[in-house]
Structure 1
Amino acid sequence: MIRRPFLVAPIAIACLFASQGLYASRVNMIAPVNAMFVRSKTVKFQLHNASAAAMDLKAGDTALTLKAGETIKLDLPTGTRIVTNAASSAHPAGTLVLEVSTGFSGSTVTLR
C-alpha cells in the first residue's frame, strides 16, 4: 500500500518535464513547393510629369528622366520604390515618389 505514492511521484515529475519539452519544440510547417517558383507580380501603369521642369527619377536600379509634360509606360514588380534622383524645385533629392503596389495597375500617376 505504501508503494503506490512512490510510483505516482516519478510519473508526475516525468510528465511535467515532458510537457515543457513538447512546448519548446519547433513546429514543423510545410511550405508549398510551388511558392518557390512563383514570379513576383508586375504592375503596368503610366507616369506623367505635370510640372514645368524635367524630373530625374530612380525606379529600383533603373534611372529615368521624365521631361515636362511627358508620359511613360512602366512595368515594375510590386514593392519597387520610385525616388527622385536629383533635386528639383518641388522635390529634394532622395524623396520617395511612390512605392509600386497592385492598386496602380492600369492607372496614370501624375507628378507635380
Structure 2
Amino acid sequence: MSIKDVTDSTFVDETKEGFVIAELGAAWCAPCKMIAPSLEEINEDQQNNISVVQVDIDDNQETAQKYGVMSIPTLLFFKDGELMEQSVGFQPKEEILAIAQKHI
C-alpha cells in the first residue's frame, strides 16, 4: 500500500483515527526524498498499525501554517486525531519508529 497524498481539505479526516505519521514535505526537497523509503516501509508493515500520509506543503500551505512548519521534512505523529509529537529533518527508520512507539 503506497503512502497516501492528503490535502488541506482531507488532512483532518486522514489523521483522526488510529496512529498516523504525516510527512510534510515537497517534491524538490532532498531530505524528503531520503526519508521516503523509510516511511514507505513503515506504511507497508501492517504489524505496526501505523499509517503514513504525506502533504506537499507547496500545494497545501494551510496545513503547514497550522502546525508551524518552518523546515522540511516535518513529521507529525497523531494518535486518534491528537498531535503527540513533531520531528523536523531527516530521521532514520529506527528513530521514526522509536518516536511512534512512545505514543502507541
Q: TM-score, normalised by structure 1?
A: 0.27
Structure whose residues are more often strand by fraction: 1
Q: TM-score, normalised by structure 2?
A: 0.28
Structure whose residues are more often helix by fraction: 2
The structure having more radius of gyration, on CA atoms, is: 1
Q: Which has the higher contact order (CA 8 A, sep 6+)?
A: 2
